[in-house]
């Protein structure tokens, strides 16, 4: 009898100590300092040359989302914005019938996307999936860690405010020549943001390989300036994400 009593007491003590340790971990995470730098500080895009369309575009986005009936969002910079230009035919073929809305704004960095998200009304929509491609414009302004922080903050916002939406996070696309220092930086950023993939709400996909040949070169037929996709590049883009997109949209 004494042996059983001692075992029971020992079990309760173990559970008590385990609970205390878990509480300590939760408290530490809650008190963990959040990063503070430009890539995570929401601000509107300050470029004077784009002010005549940047805010009006933001207002137009809000007006469209207020109408509801949105199953798919694309969020990013000029590469996403380009689905309205060089990639329009691809957009119309792949996404128009899926009630997709383009939230790509040229020139944007992570901090500008964060500002736009905070100033966008998502209350009327419940999209199945949001595709995120951002960060290339932060290169040269922010460190690898800072850019990863900015992308993380965007994903955190989306999973918090669009509670049933799946996030398809794309790795930053390769750009310029193979020998460019940017290629190395992009690989380092992608290695960090790939860890955001939890196979529950966030799904990471790196499709950069479709834009380069076996020697690591980018053709101007695919990216006309070795950064922005041409029509052929947008077709490669859409084809590369389509299997995962169908899965996440449960089509």
Cα–Cα distance for residue pair 57/99, rounded to 1 Å: 18
Instruction: Tell me which residue range forms the domain holding 68.
Output: 36-248
In the predicted structure, residue 26 carries a pLDDT above the cut 70: no
Percentage of the residues of the chain whose pLDDT score is greater than 90: 84
Residue 28, pLDDT > 50, answer no
Judge if 72 and 168 occupy the same domain. Answer: yes
Which pLDDT tens digit goes with each residue over 103-158? 999 999 999 999 999 999 999 999 999 999 999 999 999 999 999 999 999 999 99
Spatial distance between the Cα atoms of 35 and 110, rounded to a whole number of angstroms: 14
Alpha carbon 6 to chain centroid distance? 54
Same domain, 130 and 232: yes
Q: How many domains in the chain?
A: 2
* Same structural domain, 208 and 222: yes
What local confidence, expressed as pLDDT, does residue 12 receive?
36
Considering the domain architecture, whether residues 175 and 227 belong to the same structural domain is answered as yes
Give which of 106, 112, 100, 62 is closest to 85, Cα–Cα: 106
pLDDT of res. 29: 40
pLDDT value at 67 more than 70: yes
pLDDT at 17 > cutoff 50? no
Q: What is the mean pLDDT of residues 55-68?
A: 96
Please tell me the predicted confidence (pLDDT) of residue 32.
Answer: 54
Per the document, the length of the chain is: 251
pLDDT band of 35, cuts 50, 70, 90: confident
Whether residue 48 is predicted with pLDDT greater than 90 in this model: the reply is no
What is the pLDDT, as a whole number, of residue 107? 96
Residue 5 has pLDDT above 70, yes or no: no
Same-domain pairing of 51 and 75: yes
CA dist., res. 83 & res. 89, Å (int):
8
CA distance 232 to 197: 28
Q: Are residues 57 and 136 in the same domain?
A: yes
Domain CATH number, residue 221 = 3.40.50.1110
Residues 10 and 42 in one domain: no
pLDDT exceeds cutoff 90 at 234: yes
Going from the C-alpha of 24 to that of each of 18, 31, 100, the distances in angstroms are 10, 11, 44
């Amino acid at each position: 009898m004494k042996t059983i009593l001692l075992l029971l007491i020992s079990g309760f003590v173990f559970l008590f100590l385990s609970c205390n340790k878990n509480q300590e971990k939760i408290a530490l995470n809650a008190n963990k300092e959040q990063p503070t730098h430009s890539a995570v500080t929401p601000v509107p895009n300050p470029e004077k040359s784009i002010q005549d369309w940047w805010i009006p575009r933001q207002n137009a986005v809000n007006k469209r989302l207020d109408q509801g009936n949105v199953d798919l969002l694309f969020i990013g910079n000029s590469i996403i914005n380009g689905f309205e230009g060089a990639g329009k035919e691809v957009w119309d073929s792949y996404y128009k019938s899926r009630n997709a809305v383009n939230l790509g704004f040229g020139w944007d960095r992570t901090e500008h996307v964060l500002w736009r998200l905070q100033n966008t009304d998502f209350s009327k929509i419940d999209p199945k999936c949001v595709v995120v491609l951002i960060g290339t414009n932060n290169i040269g302004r922010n460190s690898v860690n800072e850019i990863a922080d900015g992308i993380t903050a965007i994903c955190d916002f989306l999973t918090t405010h669009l509670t049933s939406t799946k996030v398809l996070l794309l790795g930053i696309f390769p750009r310029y020549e193979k020998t460019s220092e940017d290629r190395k930086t992009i690989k380092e950023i992608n290695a960090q943001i790939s860890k955001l993939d939890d196979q529950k709400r966030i799904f990471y996909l790196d499709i950069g390989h479709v834009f380069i040949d076996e020697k690591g070169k980018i053709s101007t037929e695919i990216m006309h300036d070795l950064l922005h996709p041409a029509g052929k590049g947008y077709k490669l883009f859409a084809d590369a994400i389509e299997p995962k997109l169908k899965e996440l949209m449960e089509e």
